[in-house]
Structure 1
Amino acid sequence: MKFVTRLTLLISFTMLLGATLDVSAEQIPLKAWIHDPVIDSVNVSPDAKHLIGLTLTDVNSAPQVTIWDASNLAADPVFWSPKDVKPLLVQWVNDETFLVYGRQKYDYRYAGRNTKWFRDKIYFVTFSAKKQKITKSREILASKEKVGVQIENLLPLKKDKVLIQVTNLEFASDLYEVDLRENTEKRVYRGSPRNSAITNAWGEVVLKTNIETGEPGTRIDFSYKHPETGEWEVHHSLMAKGGKGLQPVAFDPDGVQVYVVDNTTSDKSVIRKYDLISRKLSEPVFADEGVEATGVLVGGRVDNFGKILGYVMTGAKTTRVFTDEREKALHDLIYSALPKDQVHRISSMSTDGSLIVVRSSGPTEPGAYYLFKNRQEVLPLGREFPYLEPKKLSRMEYVEYKARDGLVIPGYLTKPSAGKPPYPAVVMPHGGPWARDFYGWDLWAQFLANRGYAVLQPQYRGSEGWGTKLWRAGDNEWGQKMQDDKDDGAQWLVEQGIAAKDRIAIYGYSYGGYAAMAAVVRPNSPYQCAIAGAGLSELRTFEKITFDSRFGREFQSATIDGLSPLDHVEDASIPIYIFHGDRDQRVPVDQSRKFYKALEKAGKTVEYNEIPDLWHSLPWWPTHHINVLGNLEEYLAERCGPGGL
């Protein structure tokens, strides 16, 4: 695979992209950005005899499940595909069985109306090493009425069983234990819209969440099974108002201690231990004054199963701190052998540790796979996007600037690798708004930088992952102080000499689409144009969505107030390009339709593109990417402001 198989994939893919693809040019052709990964989801069987993954041999077809002989990677692989389903993930369950997780379009009728949606499916497939062929496949939980299905736990210590989570038509989550040998499906937990279950590494339901109202306020109660009596007891809560509380993230193998993220005592969250018998909370076991402590690393392989390996902290970069010396030594070995300024994650490891599959990614690397043999030899298995050459892509920098009221706003800056400043620039706020951007691969930022634009991704007030102060500063400031942060970012680009004052645009998706809509109607816009993807044009709609949930009424609905762009179309002062998918159920497509029609009626400069079969979140299909990126490139270059940006 290092040479022959990988080369075969790349040769065939060159033909599919077309002979005119000029890979020597600095501007990478659009075709190289929009396809599915050429190789993806690679992992090794427990017995180290086979590799499995998803490969792409035709840009107009779905990826194929591909199985290689690990002892002879140059040999012809075995292919398999589920019917009418696009596979998104493949994973060995035991030495001869793997699962395939896929998605297909699906329309259903709910609450009296037809809904355009999609549904996920999971298949279990048996592979005969002796015959080198697929001998059996079946879709699991096929008879259950559901809107979603996902893998809860592969139960690596139980070779013939897996735990699957099913979201039913009432949007409640049930858990099923599937026995591959007996071909049975047993429900082990029945959820409801108000409660759900959380399992430990062994797949045991050890924690239940329940939404409650009344004193001391709406909250999520966390109940645990007492280690000695087996009785379920409420131990702590996450309050809806203010979002303060303890949130469990891992369970100690002793069954008594729970690791929780605590945001109640400082701006940045810390990790503590909570004792289920004494009900006492420890001093922080992991904290850093400048970053958020966000998670606990728990072993999932046979050699470290259930063991606490370290902690995760998130600031400008996401960092893993290992407390387990054996795991630290393994990761140090991997990092010493692979490219710098990338994140390397173990995708899988054989039971004996002789084969390790590692996925690597970074700001200039969308994804690459490597095989470590006996921890001495490293074989490159392939890159997900072979024509996105890292040397032609751009560095991502962490930056900070001050908003007009003095609040420090973090951000990420990606400048073109060619040309000189001042550049044309794009301010690109993330979705959410209770979310954040991360240091690493970003398709849109890299695409725009490759087209000559400097891209600023502001972590405006309301963003999560930067501390409580920045997060809660966005409450009820939609289109107001939250919007000031983006505009002040545009001004910072000019002051730093990075961007020209009359060559800045704003582009966002989801909440970012809302921000682009708001930018159009606010006075003194610093932008030449706006591009709004799947944006929310009237806040009262989002308030209704979150109001449907008891918890959401106090947790987020109460924080949504400010500017509704739809109410101010007469004030629109810059052109806008709007796009939205007709299968979007997160932000209804009607939000963009209404804003477009109102702007058009008011005589404003507006364009609208409704994309068939596009849903809200990734992964998207190539047809979606080429529509979004192609129109984005053309609009910025030709119609953003007078004569293009």
Structure 2
Amino acid sequence: MAAPNAAFAEAPPLSAYGNLPQFQDAALSPSGKRHAMIADREGVPTLFLVEGTRALSMMPVKDIKVRRISWLDEDTVQLITSNSDTLSADFTTARTEHWSAHLVSVDPKVAIRQVFSKQKGIFDAINGTFGVRTIDGRTVAYYSGIELKKIKVNSHMLEYAFDHNRPALFAVDIETMDAKRIAVAASEGEDRDWLVDANGGVAATSRIDGEGKWDIRNAAGTIIASGVNPMGRFSLRALGPQGRSVLYWAEDPAIRETVLFSAPLDGSAAASRFEPDVDIASLYTHPVTGHYTGYRTTDGDRIMLDPKIGQRIESVHGAFPALHSTVEDFSNDYATYLVRTDGNKDSGTWYKVDLRKGAADAIGYERLPVKPGDVGPISTFEYTASDGMELDGILTLPPGIEAKNLPVVMLPHGGPHSRDVEGFDWWAQAFASRGYAVFQPNFRGSTNRDEAFKRAGYGQWGRKMQTDVSDGLAALAKAGIVDGTRACIVGASYGGYAALAGVTVEQGKYRCAVAVAPVTDLKLLRRLDIGAVNETSGGMTGRRLEQTLGPRAELDAVSPLRLADRADAPIMLIHGRDDIVVEYLHSQKMAEALKNAGKPYEFVELSEEDHWLSKGPTRLQMLTSAVGFVQKHNPAR
């Protein structure tokens, strides 16, 4: 076993963890013969379109925030990107994230096209994607977008201006880029969603108003399902196996859980729960038709409609038994797959798996400077909360160091409705490389279990969700793995809130706290979140927040901003100026409160950075600042 000092000296630089991955994303063409990938080329993120081992074309994407890539047909790749924009005083929020769809051809001579950019009557951003179909031999993609209002300047001139933010649905011929509206926008006071059938028509339309009253209508306008949920917990999901039914999520009042329902499109029978004996977490759909093909349970089991396809997918995962693996994409015939792996001794690898050939070829590595031996051991640690609830979390240990009385970083996830798994987490691994045990608790409210476990977190911000974290610390200390007196708490978004609550709502637990893009005041969160949505969603958002956060009268008691004078450890605040999820104002106010209370703190501003740390330089700035702060106040050696 290596001595501690030697292990630290040999650790990769923080840039190996904090930089954006050198291989960011990939997608398969419908046939599986081609793939697109975003990978570094001489240090510059570049989009490659590849057939076999030959690059068909390449395009630098250095400063572009690419959110997703996919193939629309065998010759065209779609890049979904976003950009932070400042809005005028006419809007309820100061900033927003505009999303765009860019189409790139395998032929480098063909210019890149942006959806809606040449449509005078449509705002040049997309609100959503609704699949791709082949119509009369032509590729047609479906997007929602905002129609602009015509204003007559004079007898010869028209101008277009913003009228409302309720999107309509358009069919876009990807060769001509002509956009045809196929469904109108919602009326004032309601939101709409759509499902597109295999022939490119609108098979189903859902509508929901501000009180949570919803319905689903078929192509003839007949209501085939309806209900009311004041929280707005309802959404369309997919067409059924033959395209003759619609699957949707709605709350079952009998069990007070959100479950999957099915309703025949022709209205011949009442809606009923789909697979009532199964806890379904998500669905799989066919890329060509949009029809349901299978589901994943809350336990992680994959059940496919066609058992042969299910066996293929299981064989793909079975090729990587010791790793956390995800199928990122697959060919239309389910014979070729893109698989991403990570976990112990793997900092992120992408494979192209060809079942016909029985081959799994690595096509990219996310973090080449992090060698297999540099990856800190990852495992699941189970423990019991102080009220008896069974919990678990992900424990990452420093490589080459004995797991005994280690300094520890508690790293609760964001969401809070999310989870951590046994994979390579760049933030956790960075701390582990510096000699810290890192624990990522799946506190109640996380999504690693069933709906009841998720709902157990309602109203528990700063309460049982918070003590679940510190109970994890106590359990690790009792097991002798960590030194409970040498702990810091670090997190982002909800995790940032938990970090601040750990030294304000709770006391005597941590030597320091680092909060990235944190919620600091729950009443401020309510006000900003309700103000940022449209008139339809405002009431539902408020009701959901009250259920999630708890009664308004009780929020000050668990708001770190209101408890700044109780802070019993140094605090670092880190926040991006372009954050539209948790506004920069949260950290700004917290810094003022800490200053006024005479409490030690540091405030790091990330210029032009968003909530997701999308830019390499500012992501590394965050990591360097956070690790340095922890090392200062809770040294590992």
Into which bin does the TM-score normalised by the smaller protein fall? 0.7 to 0.9
Partners of 1:25 and 1:398 in 2: CA distance: 28
Q: Secondary structure at the match of 1:517?
A: helix
What per-residue deviation string (whole Å, max 9, x for no partner) do you get for residues 245-303 of structure 1? 77553321434433445663558766554445344455662645xxx4212222225xx
**Shift of residue 468 of structure 1?**
4.0
Partners of 1:212 and 1:116 in 2: CA distance: 25
Cross-structure match for 1:182 = 176
What per-residue deviation string (whole Å, max 9, x for no partner) do you get for residues 465-491 of structure 1? 533433333333322232222222221
Cross-structure match for 2:40 = 56
**Shift of residue 153 of structure 1?**
1.1
My pick for the range that moved more, 152-161 or 22-31, is: 22-31
**Shift of residue 24 of structure 1?**
11
Are 2:118 and 1:122 equivalent residues in the alignment? no
What per-residue deviation string (whole Å, max 9, x for no partner) do you get for residues 67-125 of structure 1? 3342xx2x565322479745454433223333333344533324369945553332223
Please tell me whether the aligned partners of residues 206 and 236 of structure 2 are also in contact (alpha carbons under 8 angstroms): no
Alignment of 1:231-270 (within 5 A): 231-233=221-223, 235-237=225-227, 239-240=229-230, 248-261=236-249, 264=252, 265-266=254-255
Out of 256, 267, 281, the position equivalent to 1:294 is 281
Cross-structure match for 1:196 = 192
What per-residue deviation string (whole Å, max 9, x for no partner) do you get for residues 156-202 of structure 1? 67642111233687543332211123331122233347312131463
Out of 402, 416, 422, the position equivalent to 2:405 is 422
Amino acid at match of 1:424: P
Greater relative CO, 1 or 2 (CA 8 Å, sep 6+): 2
Partners of 1:363 and 1:637 in 2: CA distance: 25
**Shift of residue 380 of structure 1?**
2.0
What per-residue deviation string (whole Å, max 9, x for no partner) do you get for residues 580-607 of structure 1? 1111121111111111121122111111
Amino acid at match of 1:186: K
Partners of 2:175 and 2:126 in 1: CA distance: 24
Please tell me whether the aligned partners of residues 48 and 59 of structure 2 are also in contact (alpha carbons under 8 angstroms): yes
Amino acid at match of 2:80: Y
Cross-structure match for 1:611 = 606
Alignment of 1:125-204 (within 5 A): 125-128=104-107, 133-142=108-117, 143=119, 144-145=122-123, 148-155=126-133, 159-166=138-145, 170-192=164-186, 194-200=190-196, 202=198, 204=201
Partners of 2:126 and 2:209 in 1: CA distance: 25
Partners of 1:210 and 1:439 in 2: CA distance: 39
Are 2:329 and 1:347 equivalent residues in the alignment? yes
Alignment of 1:283-322 (within 5 A): 285=275, 287-288=277-278, 292-300=279-287, 305-306=289-290, 308-315=292-299, 318-322=300-304
**Shift of residue 372 of structure 1?**
3.8
Cross-structure match for 2:16 = 32
Q: Secondary structure at the match of 1:183?
A: coil
Structure 1: give runs of 5+ residues left out of the alignment.
1-21
Q: Quick one: percent identity of the two aligned structures?
A: 23
Are 2:482 and 1:499 equivalent residues in the alignment? yes
My pick for the range that moved more, 91-100 or 531-540, is: 91-100
Amino acid at match of 1:362: D
**Shift of residue 503 of structure 1?**
0.9
My pick for the range that moved more, 535-544 or 179-188, is: 179-188
TM-score normalised to the size of structure 2?
A: 0.83
Cross-structure match for 2:217 = 224
Partners of 2:27 and 2:91 in 1: CA distance: 43
TM-score normalised to the size of structure 1?
A: 0.82
Partners of 1:206 and 1:410 in 2: CA distance: 43
Cross-structure match for 1:387 = 369
My pick for the range that moved more, 188-197 or 628-637, is: 188-197
Partners of 1:201 and 1:360 in 2: CA distance: 30
User: CA, structure 1 residues 319+423, in 2 after alignment: closer, same or farther (shift >3 Å)?
Assistant: farther
Out of 557, 582, 603, the position equivalent to 2:546 is 557
Q: Secondary structure at the match of 1:109?
A: coil
Q: Secondary structure at the match of 1:483?
A: helix
**Shift of residue 539 of structure 1?**
1.3
**Shift of residue 453 of structure 1?**
2.0
Q: Secondary structure at the match of 2:111?
A: strand
Q: Secondary structure at the match of 1:136?
A: coil
Count, aligned residues: 593
User: CA, structure 1 residues 553+452, in 2 after alignment: closer, same or farther (shift >3 Å)?
Assistant: same
User: CA, structure 1 residues 300+391, in 2 after alignment: closer, same or farther (shift >3 Å)?
Assistant: farther
Partners of 1:499 and 1:263 in 2: CA distance: 42
User: CA, structure 1 residues 554+605, in 2 after alignment: closer, same or farther (shift >3 Å)?
Assistant: same
Please tell me whether the aligned partners of residues 370 and 381 of structure 1 are also in contact (alpha carbons under 8 angstroms): yes
What per-residue deviation string (whole Å, max 9, x for no partner) do you get for residues 319-342 of structure 1? 322341221232244234446323
Amino acid at match of 2:202: V
Structure 2: give runs of 5+ residues left out of the alignment.
1-5, 148-161, 532-537
Partners of 1:509 and 1:126 in 2: CA distance: 38
Alignment of 1:25-104 (within 5 A): 27-46=11-30, 50-59=34-43, 61=44, 63-70=45-52, 73=53, 75=54, 78-81=57-60, 85-104=64-83
Q: Secondary structure at the match of 1:155?
A: strand
Are 2:596 and 1:601 equivalent residues in the alignment? yes
**Shift of residue 612 of structure 1?**
0.4
Out of 350, 358, 366, the position equivalent to 1:369 is 350
User: CA, structure 1 residues 58+174, in 2 after alignment: closer, same or farther (shift >3 Å)?
Assistant: farther
User: CA, structure 1 residues 210+46, in 2 after alignment: closer, same or farther (shift >3 Å)?
Assistant: closer
**Shift of residue 502 of structure 1?**
0.9
Amino acid at match of 2:238: A
What per-residue deviation string (whole Å, max 9, x for no partner) do you get for residues 185-229 of structure 1? 12223334731213146354334343335xxxx325131317xxx
